[in-house]
Amino acid sequence: MRQGYTSNSTKTLEHSDSLGVVRFITAGSVDDGKSTLIGRLLYDSKAVLADQLLALSKTRHARVKANDAQVDLALLTDGLEAEREQGITIDVAYRYFATAKRKFIVADAPGHEQYTRNLVTGASQADVAVILVDATRIDLTLEPAGLLAQTKRHASILRLLGLRHVVVAVNKMDLLDFDENVFNKIRTSVELLARTIGLPVPFMIPVSALRGDNVVDLSDATPWYAGPSLLQWLEEVEIVQSTTLQSLRFPVQYVARQDGSAAEDFRGYLGQVESGQIVRGQTVKILPGGQISTVAEIQVANDYGENLTDFGTPQARAGQAVMLRLSEDLDVSRGDMIVSVDASGGQPVLAKSLQADVCWLDTEPLSLSRKYLLQHSTQTVFAKIKDIEQVLDIHTLSQGVGAATIHTNEIGRINLILQKPIAADLYDVSIATGSFVLIDDATKHTVAAGMIRHAYA
């Protein structure tokens, strides 16, 4: 059965000179070959300098010998000494490379269950996820074929984080003689997993990261595969924005004041425009207080986030760091949010209780009796976990109810009560204002990453 170049989760462009910058992350179980795959992408796309290859060829930590590079390509991303000694990825490593069509920022995330929190960090900033599946570790005697638990966990996290663009690289196909029947069995299992957890059905590519088959160039070893190489897919996938929110969201991060010696009492409000745009003369509302004012002046930071321009910029858009001056002196402080008064674009909820999905990151399990701080955008409030609705069983992909706690790397749905209201959106509407982290008030550890599913006033 030939796989044509189509995908239910993405659209492709036939012609484009430049499609911008794409951030992608690798996911999957430990030893699936994520670091080797990225190393192969870097090497075959000529993004590795000669002195880097020379240094890698002399390292005492090399574990394999690539056929042509004669170096362990995984070491291009596994830079920590502990990673090279143990042969596993521990921290998220970021690398940059470019082709004639696109620029890429790639994050190599750990596959080991112990470091699942690092995947959450990297995936939260990604446009695309590349899930690796080691074809040699799949139980093909089962129907459907049995995927590894960590593959299911990573796929579930990607679904929670709202990644719309997912491709699955079925790796180490060279060790199975590029058997088309094996690939089709794995594809059936992956598609079933995606439908079960609500992940967009991913495009699938048979690859050998070590040899380079179908990574940058198409391989003669897979005549039955009619699709693109992994790099071709990454170059052509059209990135759809992960947020549908068009209304203004400007969380105040810092209030700038003069030293009092000047005649004018200067107040500037600094932060990043998370969605929508700010226009000079625009009428805005400050939450949670509800005061109404007008934008008098705007300063925009340069592309490096520093050296604010002189006042006089007519507008600022999402993603820009700015400083605002309002026409009135109001009680505005860090944690407040400036929004448009126009309700047509959608208003945040002044929420005192939340329903949220969380990835539990701490070694100490969730406790209903402990005090937690909820960090939402630039606002921090005390939060009490009222109850646990359900916890995902990674093995069966069923939602278990009645759980007393959530353990490290587990995914659950909880209800929270907040000490004071926050201006919240749903995660599906806005990632920036629909997400949060929980911090243990006693240890100050970040214990969970949360995605808001419902917000209640």
Give the tens place of pLDDT for each residue, 321-347. Answer: 999 999 988 889 999 999 999 767 688
- Spatial CA neighbour of 320 closest among 284, 254, 274, 268: 274
| CA distances from residue 422 to 110, 251, 313 in whole angstroms, order as listed | 33, 11, 30
Per-residue confidence (pLDDT) for residue 262, from 0 to 100: 52
Give the tens place of pLDDT for each residue, 22-57. Answer: 999 888 887 788 888 888 888 888 766 455 555 555
Residue 447 half-sphere exposure toward CB, CA atoms < 13 A: 21
The strand pair at 349-360 and 337-340 is best described as unpaired
The strand pair at 128-134 and 21-27 is best described as parallel
Instruction: Please state the pTM of the whole predicted model.
Output: 0.79
- Spatial CA neighbour of 330 closest among 398, 276, 269, 387: 269
Give Cα 36 to chain centroid, integer Å. Answer: 21
Q: Indicate the residue type of 194.
A: A
Structure tokens belonging to residue 315: 């507008």
pLDDT under 70: residue ranges of the chain:
1-19, 47-92, 111-115, 241-244, 258-264, 302-312, 343, 345
User: To 5 degrees, how large is the angle CA 338–CA 164–CA 33?
Assistant: 120
Q: Indicate the residue type of 100.
A: A
CA separation for the pair 287, 276 (Å, rounded):
16
Structure tokens belonging to residue 397: 């992909």
- Spatial CA neighbour of 161 closest among 447, 439, 427, 432: 427
User: To 5 degrees, how large is the angle CA 290–CA 293–CA 295?
Assistant: 130
How buried is residue 423: exposed, middle or buried, by Cβ count under 10 Å (0-12/13-18/19+)? buried
CA separation for the pair 428, 160 (Å, rounded):
9
Per the CB < 8 A criterion, the answer to whether 285 and 306 are in contact is no
Q: Which residues, including other chains, have CB under 8 Å from residue 353's CB and lie 6 or more apart?
A: 386, 415, 416, 417, 418, 455, 456
CA separation for the pair 359, 375 (Å, rounded):
15
Structure tokens belonging to residue 284: 């805005």
Phi, psi of 289 (to 5 degrees): -70, -35
330: helix, strand or coil: coil
Per-residue confidence (pLDDT) for residue 108, from 0 to 100: 79
Per the CB < 8 A criterion, the answer to whether 342 and 349 are in contact is no
- Spatial CA neighbour of 357 closest among 418, 448, 439: 448
